[in-house]
Amino acid sequence: MDSWGSSLCFPNLNSSCRRLMLQPRSQTALFYTLLASISLLTVTLNLLVIISISHFRQLHTPTNALLLSLAVSDLVVGLLMMPIEGLRYLETCWLLGRLMCALTPYISYCLVSTSLGHMVLISIDRYVAICDPLLYSYRINLTTVKICISACWAVSLFYNGLILMRHLEQPDRYSSCHGECVVVISHVSGTVDLFVTFVVPCTVMFVLYIRVFMVAASQVRVIQSQTVAVAAAPAAKKSEWKAARTLGVLIIVFIMCFCPYYIPSLAGENTSNSLSYFAALSWLLLINSCLNPVIYALFYPWFRRAVRFIFTFKILQPHSREMKIL
């Protein structure tokens, strides 16, 4: 076999870990190309979301502010977490040192928790928009949403600091040799985390969306039964319904990618990145950051229109911020 590289992670250290396997050069190059492509695609798609919402004034809405913050989180995943996790699993060694071993899991957990918090905020936003539309503009505005977004990031940073406190203090305490970065969350902490960051938020989202779809369905029936109606009213109802449906798809896809992470806790095991199947759980979560903007492209005409304006450089024209995008 055409193998390359040393069998040791750090050939000059006697305490170095051994690589799990030596990949053929061609296979390794293929995997690195695939990794770079996925990472670049994730960064590019989320950057388009960020530019679109930030640039066009018509898109400066509370709901889009949440999508903007979510895209920032997904951008960091594509820019930082995907390359690091890819390097870990392709090299089968941790080559980034003690500090990055401490910070990488913390950043990863914070990004996941923040994304989940945004999903809950999106559910609340759609609930108020559909179930109490007359008071929506009073209860939910850009200032309120920005405060909620800031709180979401702050709580995520604090909460994951508590969960990973011992790892941050001593990142190599579970490592048996140089070239390992083992993160272990005890079954007790994992069970608490299961309820705090999964069961409770998902229950809230499920209840709110059941209520949203019930109210939306009843509104559709009322509109259909009316023989005379204001022309703009059905359009507004239809617009809110479409937004709720799209964001519902976004949440369902996120939960599908998020659920498998808790398999160790449900199985009564410690959650550790040394588990044989942890790479699959980790990458399923990471890929979600690439799927979010794809969902926008499939369901949001404004996103497709904004991307067209970006690639044709129309956003460089004077007063392009005022362009009609919706």
What range defines the domain where residue 182 resides? 25-322
Taking CA atoms, 201 is separated from 107, 116, 210, 295, in Å, by 20, 8, 14, 21
Q: pLDDT tens, 232-257?
A: 444 445 666 676 777 788 888 888 88
- Read off the pLDDT of each residue in 54-81 and give the average, rounded to a whole number: 94
The CATH number given to whatever domain includes residue 152 is 1.20.1070.10
For the chain, the domain total comes to: 1
Residue 17: the pLDDT is 81
Alpha helices, H only, the chain: 25-55, 62-76, 82-91, 97-131, 136-139, 142-163, 165-169, 187-194, 200-225, 232-258, 263-266, 278-299, 301-311
Q: 292 in a domain, yes or no? A: yes
Q: 10 in a domain, yes or no? A: no
Q: 2 in a domain, yes or no? A: no
Which amino acid makes up residue 248? G
Distance between CA atoms of 23 and 4, rounded to whole angstroms? Answer: 7
CB-count exposure of residue 76 (10 Å: 0-12, 13-18, 19+) = buried
In this prediction, residue 48 has a pLDDT band, given cuts at 50, 70 and 90, of very high
In this prediction, residue 177 has a pLDDT band, given cuts at 50, 70 and 90, of confident
Q: 161 in a domain, yes or no? A: yes
- Read off the pLDDT of each residue in 171-184 and give the average, rounded to a whole number: 83
Distance between CA atoms of 154 and 88, rounded to whole angstroms? Answer: 28
Q: 14 in a domain, yes or no? A: no
Q: 232 in a domain, yes or no? A: yes
In this prediction, residue 226 has a pLDDT band, given cuts at 50, 70 and 90, of low
Q: 287 in a domain, yes or no? A: yes
Q: 318 in a domain, yes or no? A: yes
**Phi and psi (nearest 5°) for 241?**
-65, -45
